[in-house]
Amino acid sequence: MEITTFHSNRMMRRNIICSLDRSALFLLLRLSLDEALFVLSFSRWFSFVLAEIGLAANSHFPMASFSGKNSVLKATAPKFILAFLLVGCATAPRQYNFPDPASLAPRPGVPDPLVMMDGGPVQTRNEWRYQRRPELRALFQHYMYGLIPAAPADFETRVVGQYPDFLDGKATLRLISLETGPTNAPRIDLMLVAPNQRPGPAPVFLAMNFCGNHALTEDPRVPLTRNWVPNFCKGCTNNSATEASRGSQSADWPLAEIVRRGYALAAFYSGDVDPDRADVSEGLYAFLAEGDPAKNVPANRGTLAAWAWGFERCVDYLMEDPDIDAGRIAAVGHSRNGKAALLAAAFDDRIAIAFPHQAGCGGSAPSRGKTGESVKVINEHFPHWFNATFKQFNDAPERLPFDQNCLVALCAPRAVLFSAAHEDQWANPSGQFEVLQAAEGVYRLLGAPGLGVKEMPPLRQLVGNRLGYYIREGKHSMTADDWRVFMDFADKQWKR
């Protein structure tokens, strides 16, 4: 059994960088370019540096090429990056004091992500990165999702099974246990399927599922989930998985086709992080509360933020797996899982593409939308997904100082695909298209192509550039054909 202890999270990277003796940093600045590259190439520290300033998740800077005196490394100008970090380490995080929701002025249209909370314009890339982007992240956590919990100081990953004969020998099935703390902390079972025939590390789709990894394949070596499962999962009895549930969703997860096209799939179950229960909180927040019920109010706990945290912990592992291209990690989710995938991408720059499939209200659709699910309805039916403050916008979503176009903007310049279904009006397909349009300004500011089209495309026509949109016939579902579109979009972004 392989056991690895990780200490890799974004705050720790910054702490590592900023704790280095400043004289050592200045010494590196005095070296020639090749000398600096030679010193940095001996460890992953340079990868930490690039990840800290958001380059690691950019498809133009695949992490797999960060070694030796590679020309990609030279193009990143290490001495400039070190100088940048010296300035960044001296800057304390900004503290915000946001107004009460009732005192916010109504804004009928979606707010412009390039306008600060105080009304000031964002005109430069530095103003976006150091002022507006941190402000938007703080706003989303304060008024809607709640705080995304901090990464654990360390956690252990255990490879509990590895089978190179998966899919008739075309792939290796690896079962990994991500242990995020003591025995009562969440333990995430990650299922990784990687193609055996590939020219190098594989790009990966990281996807959160509804019913457990065992539902994605009939292979009996994948263990049944041990956690609570919803009753809509086939083959479950009394909210527990049974042998009858194996492979119950395999038709919608085309593992063989994903492998054939050269991709890996990493999958985990949402219930391993925080079970999707409005009345009971027994996952991440129960652990963090340490027995204090005042710190763990089930209906206001912010489960979407917990699931985004789960995505981040899986990324922690994938960044270190030699079979995975750490610069080409895509987050995938359907419906509520898509909301979490988009939120995770907005807050974790290591995620290179976000695929929030039919994510609707609270995800890819505007909160101010007049079609489909409303803020009030989603809060009444799923109160645990958001924080208590978001409920204060039930009857006045126009008071929100942001909308979901701002969440997409937080992903810029990375790629995002919104995919929808014509009969799924509850998820507001046309509103999703408008959200992408309203995020384009940030992409242009950062020198990246946005959506690039003015009107919704016909059914089954994938459109866009760094931002993409696709709508098909049918209802609210994720199918094998949707996966084809995901892979087509990823092929375009990663030039495969």
Write down the domain spans for the chain.
2-89, 155-494
User: How much of the chain, in percent, has pLDDT values that exceed 70?
Assistant: 81
Give the count of beta carbons closer than 10 Å to the beta carbon of residue 174.
Answer: 22
Q: What is the pLDDT at residue 92?
A: 52
Residue 72 has pLDDT above 50, yes or no: no
**Are the beta carbons of 268 and 247 closer than 8 angstroms?**
no
- 329 closest CA partner among 320, 28, 338: 320
Which residue type sits at 475? K
381 an active-site residue?
no
Alpha helices for 413-476 (secondary structure H): 429-437, 440-445
- Stated as kind and residue range, the H or E segment containing 26 is helix 22-30
Supply 399's token pair.
Answer: 């008071």
Distance CA 188, CA 178 (A): 5
Q: What is the pLDDT at residue 472?
A: 98
Q: Which of 41, 65, 476, 477 is catalytic?
A: 476
Q: Which of 335, 364, 367, 374 is catalytic?
A: 335
- 88 closest CA partner among 7, 9, 16, 8: 16
Which pLDDT tens digit goes with each residue over 253-298? Answer: 999 999 999 999 999 999 999 999 999 999 999 999 999 999 999 9
Place of tokens 């949109």: 469
**Are the beta carbons of 368 and 403 closer than 8 angstroms?**
yes
Supply 69's token pair.
Answer: 């005196």
Q: What is the pLDDT at residue 95?
A: 86
Which pLDDT tens digit goes with each residue over 16-38? Answer: 444 444 444 444 444 555 555 55
Residue 221 has pLDDT above 90, yes or no: yes
Q: Provide the 3-class DSSP secondary structure of residue 121.
A: strand
Residue 381 has pLDDT above 50, yes or no: yes
The pLDDT of 480-496, averaged and rounded, is 97
pTM of the model: 0.85
Q: How far is CA 36 from CA 22, 25, 83, 117, in A?
A: 15, 10, 13, 41
Distance CA 441, CA 112 (A): 9
Residue 469 has pLDDT above 90, yes or no: yes
Least confident among 21-35, 65-79, 224-238:
65-79
**Are the beta carbons of 60 and 415 closer than 8 angstroms?**
no
476 an active-site residue?
yes
> Is the CATH number of domain 155-494 3.20.10.10?
no
Q: What is the pLDDT at residue 7?
A: 45
Supply 12's token pair.
Answer: 């720790």
The pLDDT of 244-248, averaged and rounded, is 98
β-bridge partners, 268: 208
